[in-house]
Chains A and B, each alone.
Chain A
């Protein structure tokens, strides 16, 4: 549990770190670049809109000025009496209409009393009296005049362009009427995106063109923006003006440049609109372009949405990768730790085994002396019993038997200590001529007790004419002991089984086979049996070193060791060692048992 918490802690920290390190730069770049791009893009869009509006302002101003200029030229060119002639007036009107695309509706000459002296146009205005009309009063006050839009006598929206003529001590007004619908089209030409539209208002906040959407509620604020605050105009609240994109509107009102602002949309709560405005007609009118912010910056919003989607997907894959990588890393770590732990255990185990060997050797040496004395003492008793004084009684015979038994058991002790010593003796790497058959006999003797307890029969099928080999006997003994012990271990002790050790001459080699009828080795294990520290035995039972040491020894001798096995049938280890050049083994091999 403790360990699991430890590893899941590492996993969490690792994952957090990976996510942080991967996402932080991405997020930073996204935010900083996004912010910069947004500002750059917005100012580009607004600049563009300003340019468009400026161009239209120039167009409209030019149109109005041209009309006025034409009228002035006409008034200055001809004597005013001629304007009383309606046929001449019609001729002039046709010329103006040809020049201005039919936007000039009619022409008329009005005297200083407001009475129309002559008229040419589609309406029957004849001797209309304009004495009380606002435009007439205002026009009489200046040399040139352009009126606001009004309905007038004809009942249709229009505005008037007029110029004053002074002749014979009287003043006349030569005027023409501009068709509102035609003029409207001039302004409506500014259409950008889905919601972009333009309109003109005058200083009183009256629309001079049709705005196309309902903007009455907003017009007061706009008027204030263009001309500054009126006493009559309602206070411009802060919420209406949430974002200035230019200098204070005070400057704007006087300097009359083109200015763009972003303001709250009165119709859609939460939404904003862009207003680009400029003054026309010497500051009497204002051309205002309006577009929904969302529409104007649609490309930015699209880009932003794509970026957000990419960022989200990126983040998702980073999370996923972080999870995978940290899980995998921690798994590896866990495995490495476990392997290290096992290795430590095995090293300790190997150390224990080594010291056990030394201990065994020490004990064997120490026991030799007392055993030697015991054997000699029993021999001494035997010697004494041969004296005549003991005669041939039953007891003497029994003592003789007992003494013989002591000698036999002493010899057994000797044999045991000899075996122990040959086992515990560290590898003596000196090579000498070895008769493999004899060595096998010794090793089989050494493990015979073990085989007996494990209910295993050990057979030797030995080639009597086996070649000698050049090797270190103690090392070879170690290899054989290992293989035989493994073979015994592989056999189920309840069922019992057989281990067969066979030898034969090969081409320039001596082959040794150790076969068992045990459980066999699965394929997955088979590949790793010679790996150091690989063991299938429970922890503490095997060091996993045996076969790897065997492998090392055999390789060092220039031989080969291999294994084949099928599960349930058993396993066979094959060793082949180079035969020495010496003469053949003289047929003193162990008989087949």
Chain B
């Protein structure tokens, strides 16, 4: 991934990509749109590029747009017949069938109540129908998915969630050196955390939310300062 940051605005025509598209195959990611022969940005933010030909706009956003395969954290809102309505921070509430849990049968329903937090995968997402979630993988095992009890949960921007999930992201590694903890990051900008003590959980939550305002350069500093967060 290149670090050149040209800022693009919605509606801006990006000639560089058009040029490249003439010679080779180009993939347009989120925030970019093709209108006939032109490439136009649909969101504001720095333009990112990944070799060989992937482009996207890394815009700041808090409203989640569901996409198939995403791992999300959702709050159960209501029971509706054989479905649960789950708030995942998207424009529409998602639904999850009570059969979409490990070892669930018609007789043996999972015990979920409004307010419960679940970690789930988006099964299908389309602009016109409400997104559907599952808490099992293709062979019916729950893996890491399911209800998250205890711990602390907070919301952040989608960018921060994505940054934490990036493979080469130093944050979680740096924090692990300080203390042991469990974390679940949803790409919908929601984070669940659990450490041994309440104090440690609060410190971790504060450290991670502090990353929201900081650039990549400050990550090490903030993670190193975790000790300070703990004392306060």
A and B held together in a complex: no
